[in-house]
A and B are shown apart, each in its own frame.
Chain A
Amino acid sequence: MTLGILGPEVSWYLAVAAFLFATGALGVLLRRSPLIVLLSLEIMLNGANLALIAFARHQGNGAGQIFALAVMAVAASEVVVGLGLIVAISRRNLDLDVDKLRTLRG
């Protein structure tokens, strides 16, 4: 069964979600500041969340919404860890530049 969708078609939601995801991905790939990278990650996650919720409404299935809640919780904890790392890096007076943090080079 389908719930009546108020507002635009599901494809519009997906277009916005794809736009958000692409913006975030570009940010992750192009920006050097870890703070901005983290921010862009959040935008990607939100794009994905939007798609989840749009499909959930379209299918009339609550699971997608619950999943989006879980993603938010994960995103929040990720931000905590990521910001913590960034604070630690700046405390050591290291450059806040992801290209210079390459101690894991083989």
Chain B
Amino acid sequence: MIVAAWICLLSPLGAALLITLLGNGISRRGAGYLATFAALVSFVCACIAFFALWGDAPHDRSHYSTVWTWLQSGNFAAGLRILVDPLSTMMMLVVSGVGSLIVAYSVGYMDGDDEERRYFAYMSIFVFSMLLLVQGGSLLLLLAGWGLVGLSSYLLIGFWQERPSAIAAAKKAFVMNAFGDATMALALFLLIQHTGSLNFETVFARAPGLASNHWLVNLVALGLLGGAVAKSAQLPLQTWLPDAMEGPTPVSALIHAATMVTAGVYLIVRTHVLFELAPKVEDLAAGLGAATLLMAGLIALVQTDIKRVIAYSTMSQIGYMFLGAGLGSYANGMFHLMTHAFFKALLFMAAGLVIHALAGEQDIRKMGGLRRLMPRTYRAFLIGALALVGIPPFAGFFSKDSILAAAMHDGWYGYLLWTAGLAGTFLTGLYTFRMLFVVFGGEPSAFVREHLIRGRRHGHGHAHRGEGPLSMTATVTILAVLSLIGGWIQFAPLWTPVTDWLRVVAPTLPHAEPASWQEAVSSALAFALGLAGLATAWLVYSRRRLAVPRFAFVQRVLEHKLYFDEAYDLVFYRPAVAVARLFVRVVEPLVVGGSITGLARGTRDVARGVSEAQTGLLRTYALAIASGLVVLVVVFISVK
């Protein structure tokens, strides 16, 4: 099992190194196959580890393995150590499983790009980093993986480096994530100072001893939450995620929907011991999740870029996961993470098929009527959308409703969150099916006709027949099946294998353990509101019985994403630029440049003065030597 876990971790790294080192020695397609193969090896090894773990007794399911100690300072030692336990194997399965599907999909999607090899090397690096993040056996390795996924996300968002907007988006993502990395690193420093270690079991064993120090535990939890919020694009650090859609679509599917952005949820669940010491911070996490899910749902209503709509829905769904994890319903948060990985990757990849067929167009206003021209894509998209809205029997229904039920059990604050979550389901239904009806419903638009019908008739524009190459359609089909059946592995409260599986690592808090009637009410209401959203979208965008309501002000605010970008521009960017200008004008010439030129001038003046003494007169020198000697002699004699 341990060996399998190591192979799972290192195989994508090996693929990345091989693709990089072989350079032109490997064909473009070969690089894609190699990366896919490596991810598949990871998945198989993750399965092996999972089944081996299943065979263990439930209380004996945490296995650490250290290869070597690469950092030792006093009592503090950090090793390259991995942890195989129920939580990490679940993440391994999701990351490598969805990851291998998406890498396989990329083989078709990136076909013909000039730099396919670089793409697949980055993609493999990402899978490795993400596996390091979830498998790391100490907070330090978790942070290393955390930074590496940030790096590979930066590289992949900016993959099309000739586009200035892609470069800007990559920088934005990197800077915002770096903020989270920094707060997390500060929290880890505090932990080293007070527990003397970063290994999970030591920290979690010693942490309860710090509980009396409220400041400390709150600061640590806040630092970790800062990292989670930045990585998972929650309020107030959410603005990078929509811009990150500049990257290739499979990247959006893998990194910015299925795996990396959910790392924040994993972090909260993994360090739940620390969060439970700071209940205020836990409530804050849940509140941020609720606020984000509402805000993202509202903004998604007015977006016109197909990928941005899905990006906002990702943000909104991660809001649900934060809500669950913040309330202490860890298993439900993780379960939603898993089903979300399936249906969100599916939605992105189906959108990728559409974008691929329309030669890179992403504006939904130009699309329409694709249902007849791309029936298989339509079906896949429909399954993803139904799962996202939470219509039974699709995956989202089972995972989302448990989170809402958990919220219902937590006092007035819980009811507040519960209401927000329910409003979110209505919004989800509305924006998802708005997108679906606009893109696939109605008659084909002129733009679509030009690309799909005429292109096909004249036999150019697309080298392949059907809706996409096999690598793309096959993976989409697999994900569609997973989105359909993936939720069936848990139906609280009747059937709870996921909760049981994770109980050893992260037991659900008692106040987040809903009663059966609460489960039933939440499910029924969420289902009804999801359907209501769907029906509204149908009436407005498909039947056109209702006009789209026009509130110019609201629409403008939402189109500007609640002015977050503008606010950050005003609060951080402009003052920074102003201060920099001031420094250029005042400090630079006076202090920095001034000190250097002053030093040079002083040296020159002193040299000029001293050079006066150099007369060139031989006899002066001789006199100086002689008189100096006389002085020395007199001094020595008189001192003696």
Contacts and interface: CB of A to CB of B under 8 A. Distances in A.
A103 interface: yes
Interface string A24-37: 01001110100001
B611 A106 contact: yes
B619 A99 contact: yes
B618 A105 contact: no
Contacts of B626: 25, 29
B622 A105 contact: no
Given A25-B626, A29-B626, A98 B619 contact: yes
A104 interface: yes
A106 to B, nearest CB: 3
A91 interface: no
B616 interface: yes
Contacts of B616: 101-106
Given A98-B618, A99-B617, A101-B618, A106 B623 contact: no
Given A25-B626, A29-B626, A102 B619 contact: no
B609 to A, nearest CB: 10
Contacts of A105: 614-617
B622 A106 contact: no
Interface residues of B, number: 13
Interface residues of A, number: 14
Contacts of B618: 37, 98-99, 101-102
Contacts of A30: 619
B619 A106 contact: no
Interface in A3-37: 25, 28-30, 32, 37
A32 B618 CA distance: 10
A37 B613 CA distance: 22
Given A25-B626, A29-B626, A104 B619 contact: no
Interface in B250-264: none
Given A25-B626, A29-B623, A102 B617 contact: yes
Contacts of A37: 618
Interface in A82-106: 98-99, 101-106
Interface in B460-488: none
Contacts of B622: 28-29
A27 to B, nearest CB: 10
B162 interface: no
B632 to A, nearest CB: 15
A9 to B, nearest CB: 21
Nearest to A105: B616
A28 B626 CA distance: 10
B617 A106 contact: no
21 contacts: A25-B626, A28-B619, A28-B622, A29-B622, A30-B619, A32-B619, A37-B618, A98-B618, A98-B619, A99-B619, A102-B616, A102-B617, A103-B616, A104-B616, A105-B614, A105-B615, A106-B611, A106-B612, A106-B613, A106-B614, A106-B616
Given A25-B626, A101-B616, A105-B614, 19 more contacts: A28-B619, A29-B622, A29-B626, A30-B619, A32-B619, A37-B618, A98-B617, A98-B619, A99-B618, A99-B619, A101-B618, A102-B615, A102-B616, A103-B616, A105-B615, A106-B610, A106-B612, A106-B614, A106-B616
Q: Name the 5 nearest CB pairs between A and B, nearest first.
A: A106-B614, A102-B616, A105-B616, A106-B611, A98-B618
